[in-house]
Amino acid sequence: MATGLENLWIYKLAEDPEIKVHEVTKSFPRDELYRSIDQLRRSSSSVSNNIAEHYHKTTTKEKKRFLDIAKGEIEETRRGVLKSSRKKFLSETIATEIADQYIILMKGITSYIRFLELNSIEKYHKPSTKN
């Protein structure tokens, strides 16, 4: 049975490139195990992990913080994938495909943040000013 998080489209969108990064890094040179491979796998999994972590935060500010971290991890992963192509660890076609998936995800997260801001409960509950 799917939870609310599993129904969140940005979470679903984050899983595919993470799995793709894991798969393509299997063919990287062995001496890159603790450099490119480890870094790409950690940053790609951090994207979906931060989206998951945001889900159970209570305030919009907290939610946005984790989504902003996810966006930073997206950019780190994108740059790493594109550099890996330049280093000839993977084809330019595959690198571009993964990078494009992350651009779509970045736009999705940005839109979702706007949605959270517009529908924030906090904006309707202003602290009372007692004199």
pTM confidence score: 0.86
Q: Under a CB-based contact definition with an 8 Å cutoff, are residues 66 and 50 in contact?
A: yes
Q: What's the CA gap between 114 and 85, in Å, rounded?
A: 33
Two structure tokens written together for 123: 């904006």
Spans of all domains in the chain? 4-118
Q: What's the CA gap between 24 and 20, in Å, rounded?
A: 6
Q: What's the CA gap between 96 and 92, in Å, rounded?
A: 6
CATH superfamily of 4-118: 23S rRNA-intervening sequence (1.20.1440.60)
Tens digits of pLDDT across the chain (131 residues): 456 888 899 999 999 999 999 999 999 999 998 899 999 999 999 999 999 999 999 999 999 999 999 999 999 999 999 999 999 999 999 999 999 999 999 999 999 999 999 988 666 555 555 55
Two structure tokens written together for 53: 């972590």
Residue 125's pLDDT is what?
55
Residue 99's pLDDT is what?
98
Residue 5's pLDDT is what?
82
Q: Under a CB-based contact definition with an 8 Å cutoff, are residues 117 and 60 in contact?
A: yes
Residue 120's pLDDT is what?
80
H or E, element range at 63? helix 60-86
